[in-house]
């Protein structure tokens, strides 16, 4: 790397994911999310992303397009040993560089096979072909090395496709070569998660607040995004000075939090289950869950959080009326009178879970996730959620949720977890 | 649509997702998966995918690039009423078409607002701007109409970003306008899901089989993909004759199934929980699940399948030793002697679940999902799974699973569901 080149700062990146499987209905490129996180942390914006198949002409056209439009082109995939793996060749052709075989690389690949008692297949020698002048980036987890090509005003970085190979390789590059080419400017973000409101309602509430931050210095960009069972407000700003950037984001977040009140789940991107888990920890209380239509999803989400064994005590998935009665003690007359999908049965499930597990809080969910089981009175998507607390008090709620089975399940789990979160917040405030 | 244009067949599509949020670490374009499914069904290959932000220059460059390289360019997003929504303008500029305001469209948008008792905000009139000559595609679920522009050798199709608006609109187009421009050739696929083997092992077994199908007519393309807890083998072929295409895929699938044996989960893309559910139905047996480290995920996966109430009877999430003893009757001496993560405790959980729920099969899972709780003897990722069957027989297995908490959870759920699947297959065969 010459001194001149070392001083050229990288600001705009394009990511090209290579692989025909990424153009089928079955697969999606997710490496770019990981890469974007780390590039943004270095102040490098991702301006475009491409997915291209194993077709030499398409790959070479896309490379040509990308090289002219960005400081950094990152390709992922297509570095394997088979005939489908064309990235090395396409990059060499696009840049007019000859491919050279590196004997040291062949030795390293051969040694990798030998370590596992295997002989290197002949085709793997293709992975030792390197465009002239490229710097080889060792791959600790596979045979395909990465390649760093510093070319006039653009760096072209070739990375292997498998995440377990790409990630450590890129993290190392972010620490050394890429960090050396960053200007200290960084992109800082906040993600505010909001529940209990529609997208347009959130916009109405927050627009007067965030509009003025947009005009500020540094300017804060805002995007509102609706996802299943929650709304996200994304803030981002760019500055060379970390404390300036963090401080404007902090101020904006505090002001938005004031407007959003208890509907705000988190300001650091934490999920509802993480926030609820933290509140359970803080309050030193435990929870048990009785689920019908969510079928274990509430328990599974609670236990996705590291350390959840401190507060998640027990869960029941009770898919039949008999199991609700036999295993949780729900009175069968209650089911007979109100139906298994009713606020009364949800409440009895919450009370039963709390009592049987011997914990402070019990949650109950019962509903019709579909695609069958709906009626005029209780159509598909009817869900009742309930909470039983340490003071003997209970809360219940009946919801009508839109969408297919998996969407109903998720939104129902969101509703009951949010009921617990709000209860814990009130409890914390009242102390 | 003139007769000449109607006869031009669409074969290659490019999809452009528009929106700066799709270039952040938080969001990914998934509309393209839906579009690819439907385009492939019409014999239209997706040759490239792009993600571009709300930057006029980038969007216009990308459009220019795409229009020259495909028969069909589909854009998603950027049709909203705000200043960020630039797709209409960029397409008009790129194609040299003036934008015209359509009074009928304004009326329709105004009526949509009026239906909800609202006045149309002035900015929404932007959504009535249409590049000259474009055909307006009504949007039944939002204010942004789609646009179909038939331009020399390329069709440019502008669709709104929200899936609930895009999907029905595109399904209608697939039935009429797009179908009229397809040549009857279709892309047919099979996805073989495989468990219990590594990617290279699957390749070794299947390569001699699929190599000969590649040389056949019609040729079958094969891709092997490793995902968490399973391997996928994707087959695809293209032919104008559905029975020819289906028949070569059927033959190839039968031959591959012979080689893969019981490791083959499904040949139609069905998930492990769907296949296991079908086997439970066929056998007329029910299951109950006792989970520790998977925390409800096994129950949740089983109940993701419509109709699972027929066989999924009850589930327990037992995160503490006390709850395993108190709620499921696991002998505390067993936990004391072998530790809670042991084949013995997993077995006792499976037996307890089966017994308490009064069903034919019980499953048990206990393990250390991390990030803490590991030891030298039982490192993070140690998982024990067990099955108790109607004949009183039990099976247990101890696994060492790689990765983070969520990966350990998923792979553990995969292992115990697969244990049940294999048991049910043997049962079916022995009848």
Residue B275 lies in a domain: no
Kindly state the percentage of chain A with pLDDT values over 70.
98
A189 contacts in B (CB within 8 Å)?
24
A225 contacts in B (CB within 8 Å)?
21, 26-27
B409 contacts in A (CB within 8 Å)?
300, 303-304
Assess whether B245 and B330 both reside in one domain: no
Domain total of chain A:
3
Assess whether A227 and A369 both reside in one domain: no
Query: Cis omega (within 30 of 0) on the bond before B371?
Result: yes
Q: Which of A4-8, A19-23, A402-406 has the lowest mean pLDDT?
A: A4-8
pLDDT for B272: 97
Three-class SS state of B61: helix
Nearest beta carbon to residue B296 from set A49, A296, A372? A296
Query: CA nearest A309 in B: which residue?
Result: B319
pLDDT for B3: 42
CB contact under 8 A, B300 and A58: no
Assess whether A23 and A133 both reside in one domain: yes
- The confidence band for B210, taking pLDDT boundaries of 50, 70 and 90, is confident
Per the CB < 8 A criterion, the answer to whether B281 and B211 are in contact is: no
- The confidence band for B295, taking pLDDT boundaries of 50, 70 and 90, is very high
Residue where a domain stops, chosen among A232, A266, A300: A266
Assess whether A292 and A400 both reside in one domain: yes
Assess whether B312 and B337 both reside in one domain: yes
Axis-axis angle for helices B242-260, B199-214 (nearest 10): 140
Nearest beta carbon to residue A296 from set B24, B299, B356? B299
> How are beta strands B12-18 and B72-76 bridged, if at all?
parallel
pLDDT digits (tens, 9 = 90+) for A23-45: 988 788 999 999 999 998 888 99
pLDDT digits (tens, 9 = 90+) for B25-35: 878 899 999 99
Assess whether A281 and A213 both reside in one domain: no
pLDDT digits (tens, 9 = 90+) for B319-359: 888 899 999 999 999 999 999 999 999 999 999 999 999 99
pLDDT for B360: 97
Per the CB < 8 A criterion, the answer to whether B304 and B276 are in contact is: no
Between vectors from CA A154 to CA A148 and to CA A160, what angle results, nearest 5°?
35
Residue where a domain stops, chosen among A127, A153, A180: A180
Residue B234 lies in a domain: yes
Mean pLDDT of B109-119: 82
CB contact under 8 A, A299 and B296: yes
Checking if the pLDDT of A381 tops 50, the result is: yes
Q: What is the CATH number of the domain that holds B89?
A: 3.40.980.10
Checking if the pLDDT of B303 tops 90, the result is: yes
What are φ and ψ of residue B211, in 5° steps?
-55, -40
Residue by residue, DSSP assigns A2-60 as -HHHHHSPP-EEEEEEE-GGGGSTT----HHHHHHHHHHHTT-EEEEEEEE-S-HHHHH
The CA distance from B241 to A422, in Å, is: 59
CB contact under 8 A, B25 and A47: no
pLDDT for A3: 42
Three-class SS state of B191: strand
Residue B272 lies in a domain: no
Shortest Cα distance, chain B CAs vs residue A222, angstroms? 10
Three-class SS state of B134: coil
The CA distance from A290 to A317, in Å, is: 6
Residue B271 lies in a domain: no
Dihedral angle over CA of A73, A77, A79, A85, nearest 10: -110
CB contact under 8 A, A23 and B37: no
Checking if the pLDDT of B189 tops 50, the result is: yes
Assess whether A372 and A285 both reside in one domain: yes
Query: CA nearest A323 in B: which residue?
Result: B314
Nearest beta carbon to residue A300 from set B48, B295, B356? B295
Mean pLDDT of A109-119: 82
- The confidence band for B7, taking pLDDT boundaries of 50, 70 and 90, is low
pLDDT for B4: 45
A222 contacts in B (CB within 8 Å)?
none
Assess whether B36 and B100 both reside in one domain: yes
Kindly give, in sequence order, each residue whose CB lies less than 8 Å from that of residue B345, ignoring residues fewer than 6 positions away.
Answer: B324, B330, B334, B335, B338, B339, B364, B366, B384
Assess whether A152 and A196 both reside in one domain: no
- The confidence band for A7, taking pLDDT boundaries of 50, 70 and 90, is low
pLDDT digits (tens, 9 = 90+) for A293-312: 999 999 999 999 999 999 99
Assess whether A52 and A168 both reside in one domain: yes
A25 contacts in B (CB within 8 Å)?
33-34, 36-37, 40
Q: What is the CATH number of the domain that holds A243?
A: 3.30.70.600
Alpha carbons within 13 angstroms on the beta-carbon side of residue A148 total 16
- Tell me which residue range forms the domain holding B227: 186-266
Query: CA nearest A369 in B: which residue?
Result: B306
Residue in the block written with tokens 């295993």? A327
Checking if the pLDDT of A4 tops 60, the result is: no
Per the CB < 8 A criterion, the answer to whether A137 and A148 are in contact is: yes
For an interface test with B, give the residue of A295, A326, A362 to mutate (most B CBs within 10 A): A295
pLDDT for B428: 92
Kindly state the percentage of chain A with pLDDT values over 90.
64
Going through B57-181 in order, the beta strands assigned E by DSSP cover 72-76, 99-101, 129-131, 135-137, 146-151, 154-159
Assess whether A16 and A163 both reside in one domain: yes
Assess whether B118 and B12 both reside in one domain: yes
What distance lies between CA A241 and its chain's CA centroid?
27
Total-model pTM: 0.81
What are φ and ψ of residue A120, in 5° steps?
-70, 125
Checking if the pLDDT of B131 tops 80, the result is: yes
Checking if the pLDDT of A84 tops 80, the result is: no
Residue where a domain stops, chosen among B142, B159, B180: B180
B203 contacts in A (CB within 8 Å)?
none
CA dihedral sign of residues B78, B80, B86, B88: positive
| Mean per-residue pLDDT over chain A, rounded | 91
Query: CA nearest A232 in B: which residue?
Result: B26
């Amino acid at each position: 790397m010459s001194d001149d080149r070392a001083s050229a700062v990288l600001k705009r990146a394009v990511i090209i994911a290579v692989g025909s499987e990424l153009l089928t209905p079955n697969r999606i490129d997710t490496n770019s999310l990981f890469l974007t996180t780390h590039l943004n942390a270095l102040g490098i914006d991702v301006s475009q992303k491409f997915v291209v198949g194993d077709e030499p002409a398409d790959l070479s056209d896309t490379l040509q397009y990308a090289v002219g439009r960005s400081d950094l082109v990152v390709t992922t995939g297509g570095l394997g040993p088979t005939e489908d793996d064309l990235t090395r060749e396409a990059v060499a052709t696009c840049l007019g560089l000859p491919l050279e075989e590196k004997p040291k690389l062949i030795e390293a690949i051969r040694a990798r096979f030998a370590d596992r008692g295997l002989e290197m297949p002949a085709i793997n020698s293709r992975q030792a072909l390197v465009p002239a002048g490229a710097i080889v980036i060792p791959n600790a987890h596979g045979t395909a090395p990465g390649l760093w090509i510093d070319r006039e005003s653009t760096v072209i970085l070739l990375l292997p496709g498998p995440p377990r190979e790409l990630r450590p390789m890129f993290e190392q590059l972010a620490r050394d070569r890429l960090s050396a080419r960053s200007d200290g400017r960084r992109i800082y973000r906040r993600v505010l998660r909001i529940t209990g409101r529609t997208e347009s309602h959130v916009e109405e509430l927050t627009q007067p607040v965030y509009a003025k931050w947009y005009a500020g210095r540094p300017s804060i960009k805002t995007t509102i995004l609706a996802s299943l069972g929650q709304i996200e407000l994304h803030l981002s700003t760019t500055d060379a000075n970390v404390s300036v950037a963090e401080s404007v984001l902090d101020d904006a977040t505090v002001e938005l939090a004031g407007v959003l009140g208890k509907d705000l789940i988190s300001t650091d991107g934490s999920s509802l289950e993480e926030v609820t888990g933290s509140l359970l920890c803080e309050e030193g209380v435990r929870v048990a869950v009785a689920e019908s239509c969510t079928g274990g999803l509430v328990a599974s989400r609670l236990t996705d959080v590291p350390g959840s064994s401190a507060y998640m005590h027990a869960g029941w998935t009770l898919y039949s009326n008999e199991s609700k009665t036999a295993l949780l003690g729900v009175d069968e007359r209650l089911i007979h009178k109100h139906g298994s999908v009713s606020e009364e049965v949800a409440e009895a499930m919450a009370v039963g879970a709390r009592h049987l597990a011997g914990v402070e809080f019990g949650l109950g969910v019962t509903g019709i996730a579909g695609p069958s089981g709906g009626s005029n009175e209780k159509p598909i998507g009817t869900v009742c959620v309930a909470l039983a607390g340490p003071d003997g008090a209970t809360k219940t709620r009946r919801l009508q949720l839109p969408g297919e089975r998996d969407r109903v399940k998720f939104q129902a789990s969101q509703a009951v977890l949010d009921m617990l979160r709000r209860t814990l917040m009130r409890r914390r405030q009242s102390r």
